[in-house]
Amino acid sequence: MESASVPLPGGGGKAAEAHHHGPPEANQSSRIDRQTLGILLFIISEVMLFGAFFASYFFLRVVVNPASWPPKPFELPVGIAGMNTAILVSSSFTIHYALEAIRKGNRQGMKLGLVLTWLLGLTFLFVQINEYVHLGFSARTEAFGTIFYSLTGLHGAHVFVGLMLLTFATIRAFRGHFDKNPDKHFGVEIPGIYWHFIDIMWIIVFATVYIL
Amino acid sequence: MKFNEAVVFKWVVIVGIAAATVIGLTLLTRPLVGALWGLVLVIAGCVYGYRWTRQWWRDLKDRPGGPDHSV
C-alpha cells in the first residue's frame, strides 16, 4: 500500500516526506525560456502603456491643433536632448559589449560594460532632471506641458527602474555570479533587453517630442 | 526564431537609423514630411511585427509537447 506518500499528522512524516514528490515541473517551451518570455510579455505591455501616452500626445498635437507647439515663448532644448540621446544610445552599445564579453567568458569585460552602462544611464537621468529645472514651464503649463512631462517623465521612470536592475546586475557581476553558460547570465541578459527597450522608446520620444 | 539581447540590440540599431532618417527629413524639409515618413516606417514596423508574432506563435505551437506537434 502507498500510505507513505500521504503526509501523516503528529510528526510521523519523515518517511512520508522521503517518498513525497511535489507537483511536476511546469511545462516549458523548448524554444524560449521562462525569463525571456517574461520580459517579452512585460515589454509588450510597456509598449501599450507608451502607446496610450503617444495617442494622447498626437491627439493634443494634431486634433486639438493649438496655434503654436510648443506654446510661445517656450522652446525645447533640442541640442541638450540630442546629446542626451547620444548618451543613451551609447549605453546600448556598452550593455551589448558586456553581454558579448560574458558570452565569451570575459568577466572583466562584462564588469566594464555594466559599469559604463550604469554611468551613462545615470548621466542621462541627471541631464534630464537638469533640463526639467531649466525649462521654464511646468506640467501645468497648458496641455503641452502636461503631455511633455508625462511622456518624458514616464520614460525617465523607466530609466530609473533600468538603473536599479543594472545596479543589481553590476553588484552580482562583481561578486562573480555570472559565467559564459547561457543559463548562468540571465541576470545580465534580461536587464540588457529591458535597457535596449528603454533606448528604443527614447529614440521615438526624442524624434516625436523634440524634432517633429 | 530567437529572442535574446543580441536580437533586441539589432533592433536598437534599426530603430536608431530609422529615427535618424525621420530627423534628417524633418530638418531638411518640413515637420509634416518627417511625420509622414515616420508614419510609413511605423506601419512597416507593425506589419513586420505582426508577421513575426504569427511565425513565432506557429513555431511555439509546433514544439515537442505542443498542441500541434506531430511525431
Q: Is A204 on the interface with B (CB under 8 A)?
A: yes
Cα separation, A12 vs A191, in Å, equals 46
Ranges A35-39, A199-203, B57-61, most confident = A199-203
**pLDDT for position A1:** 38
Q: Which three cell numbers stand for residue B19?
A: 529615427
Q: Which of the residues A47, A88, A96 would you substitute to probe the B interface, choosing the one with the greatest number of B C-beta atoms within 10 Å?
A: A96
Query: pLDDT tens, position by position, for chain B (71 residues)?
Result: 577 889 899 999 999 999 999 999 999 999 889 999 999 999 999 999 899 888 877 777 666 666 666 55
Q: What is the pLDDT of residues A130-171, one digit of tens each?
A: 999 998 888 888 888 999 999 999 999 999 999 999 999 999
Nearest Cβ partner for B63 among A29, A92, A211: A29
Residues whose CB falls within 8 Å of the CB of residue B45, separated by 6 or more in sequence, listed in order: B18
Q: Name the closest residue on chain A to residue B5, using Cα atoms.
A: A193
Q: Is B43 on the interface with A (CB under 8 A)?
A: no
List CB contacts (< 8 A) between B27 and chain A: 211
Nearest CA distance, A45 vs chain B (angstrom):
15
For residues B60 and B66, the answer to whether their CB atoms sit within 8 Å is: yes
Q: Which three cell numbers stand for residue A195?
A: 535597457
Q: What is the pLDDT of residues A87-134, one digit of tens each?
A: 999 999 999 999 999 999 999 999 999 999 999 999 999 999 999 999
Nearest Cβ partner for B5 among A27, A192, A199: A192
Question: Model-level pTM greater than 0.95?
Answer: no
pLDDT at A74 exceeding the cut of 70: yes
Phi/psi region, residue B65 (left: phi>0; alpha: psi -120 to 50; beta: rest), is: left
DSSP character string of chain A: --GGGSPPSSS--HHHHHH---SPPPP--SSS-HHHHHHHHHHHHHHHHHHHHHHHHHIIIIII--SSSSPTT----HHHHHHHHHHHHHHHHHHHHHHHHHHTT-HHHHHHHHHHHHHHHHHHHHHHHHHHHHSS--TTSHHHHHHHHHHHHHHHHHHHHHHHHHHHHHHHHHTT---SSGGG-HHHHHHHHHHHHHHHHHHHHIIIIII-
Confidence of residue A212 (pLDDT cuts 50, 70, 90): confident
Nearest CA distance, B34 vs chain A (angstrom):
7
For residues A81 and A125, the answer to whether their CB atoms sit within 8 Å is: no
CB contact under 8 A, A32 and B60: yes
Q: How far is the CA of A153 from the CAs of A127, A128, A136, in angstroms?
A: 13, 9, 16
Three-state SS for B4?
coil
Cα separation, B20 vs A153, in Å, equals 23
Nearest Cβ partner for B5 among A30, A189, A208: A189
Interface confidence, given as ipTM, is 0.79
